[in-house]
Amino acid sequence: MRSCWRSPPGLVVAALAGLLVLPCAHGSEEPLAGAEALLAELQPTRPIYTTDMPVRVRFTLVNTGDRPVDIPLSVPWNLDDGVTLPQTLLLGQPDHPALVFTFNNETPQAIKPALAGGGDPSGVILRIAAHSSLGAEVDLRDYYAGVRYPGAYRVEWQPLGPRGPVGAAEFRVEPRKDAILVTDLGKVTFTLEYELAPRNVENFLDLVRTDFYNGKTIHRIVPGFVLQGGCPNGNGTGLRKDGKTVVGEFHNTPVDIGTLMMARRPSDPNSASCQFLVALGRQPSLDGKYTVIGRATDPESLRTLQALAAVKTDRTDRPLAPVTIRSINLVDADSERVRNLGHRGAAPSAPSAERARSSR
């Protein structure tokens, strides 16, 4: 950044360990020293937002240099609500908007703020101390009504004008989804825990959308405890093809029949990948130990779980005949519960009852 700003009379606000209010020097002609060390960072609070939740994003202006950086503000800064990123930096000015949204790869749209002032210094200087930062977490719906609509978004932030640092972030907004597991023994419909486990739910949705689970098996069934499926190797040893794992998002919601959890290695709480567990009864020993991503509570789902729990297995809890996942389908959570879910692609036929009921 090469702009040379005059330090006007007013106040200097130092964003360091605390807030310092100092008189600012008059008539300074010094350039904006250290401005090249400033970074603009955006961080969505979750990778997927549903249409019924706030779209909260963290905006942070970071000084990575060894010297303070003084930024003149063109409109007054209201400190009544505490120290936070000034609106003039968050939103820019009508002639130089700071926020630009792109929706589904359409033409980018700059958001012009309704702020007083035409760019003249207000007499206030924001001083960001060396190796310090100042930020704010905001609901983007307050500034751009269009972000309420389902789709893929990219937001760019340029708080210091055309020659300043640029931050960017991408996220999706979509209707809340249910996931329907289709097996030869029936269907299980899960409501997904977007709020409690956003990163694990995103991982699961990504796998479902790519048909990852179609044709996989439920390779482990322990009556009264859990069933386990989704392993690409069919034996509990496999991961996603790209090897990605997801951090644990644990909470104390009770694990009961129909609770959908991400499987993980016992020694690593952050090793969830693609395999999942479904509880077949109340399991206090699992509370807070596995990431819960969904629940099945409707009568049809519970009947299917009872049928799955009755499948005969060997001494390693492996079904004697394959239990195939025909598909996992996503549907809008508010759509009708009666659905005709046909198979997508060929799958093995159901095992005969006689073969499936052979002794363990």
Name the residue range of residue 116's domain: 11-174
Residues 196 and 49 in one domain: no
Residue of 220, 205, 225 lying closest to 274 (CA atoms): 205
Residues 6+ apart with CB under 8 A from 5: 31, 32, 70, 71, 72, 121
pLDDT at 316: 96
**In CATH, what number is assigned to the domain containing residue 123?**
2.60.40.2970
Give how many domains the chain has, as a whole number: 2
Please state, in angstroms and rounded to a whole number, the distance separating the CA atoms of residues 231 and 265. Answer: 13
Q: What pLDDT does residue 341 have? A: 43
Query: Do 155 and 29 belong to one domain?
Result: yes
Report which of residues 7 and 194 the model is more confident about.
Answer: 194
Neighbours of 359 (CB within 10 A): 6
Note whether 167 and 288 are same-domain residues: no
Distances in Å between the Cα of 292 and the Cα atoms of 103, 146, 259 are 31, 31, 7
Contact 134, 85 (CB under 8 A): yes
**pLDDT tens-place string over residues 44-84:** 999 899 999 999 999 999 999 999 999 888 777 777 767 78
**Cβ atoms 292, 263 nearer than 8 A:** no
Q: Is residue 3 part of a domain?
A: no
User: SS3 for 85?
Assistant: coil
Q: Band of the pLDDT at 105, cuts 50, 70, 90? A: confident
- Cα torsion angle, 232, 238, 243, 244, sign: positive
Is 221 inside any structural domain?
yes
**205 and 348 assigned to the same domain:** yes
- Tell whether 352 and 203 lie within a shared domain: yes
> What's residue 125's pLDDT?
85
User: Distances in Å between the alpha carbon of 258 and those of 197, 227, 254, 308, 344?
Assistant: 17, 10, 11, 12, 24
Q: Tell whether 79 is covered by a domain.
A: yes
